[in-house]
Amino acid sequence: MPLDIGVGILLALGVAEYFDIEATPLFIILGIAAALLPDIDIITAPLLGKWYHRTHTHFPLTYIPLVVLAFVLLPIPFAVLFALGILAHFIHDTLGLGDGIRWFWPFSQRRFLFLVPQDTGGNWVQQYYFRPNPVAYIEYGTLLVSLVVLILYFT
């Protein structure tokens, strides 16, 4: 999650630069929100009474209508940021921790995960986010770099 926040910030700044627009706080918040959107199941899971992480909110093909709608309703820079943020999250989850992503659901149940983490006994959040390790260094390092770049952008 720290990596997703950092990437959302960097994407917002990059898209703003590419389209020659100002990276307003709203634009940066949209970048962060888009990069975190697939993890909305962390909030909705308690409402359902069961942990459902990386199920329906982590099926990339289901976001196609939402992204198309963004391109219809939003200015192009906002729609591009929205699409890139979601895509970045799925790439991160494919290269990172957990069970991987079902890129082609509903056509295939196969999960794609390219960096298989060690067995954590099911407690990968504690293992990777609350202890010094390469994953934590990458996640928190990306967040730190993005915050430094953000501060430099606004000064």
Report the distance separating Cα 128 and Cα 37, nearest Å. 21
Q: How many domains does the chain have?
A: 1
Q: Which residue has the higher pLDDT, 57 or 126?
A: 57
pLDDT tens digits, 2-21 = 999 999 999 999 999 999 99
Model pLDDT, residue 74:
97
Query: What element of type H or E holds 124?
Result: helix 124-129
pLDDT tens digits, 86-95 = 999 999 988 8
Which range of residues forms the domain containing residue 23?
2-154
The whole-model pTM stands at 0.86
Burial class, 3, CB count within 10 angstroms (exposed 0-12 / middle 13-18 / buried 19+) = buried
Model pLDDT, residue 41:
78
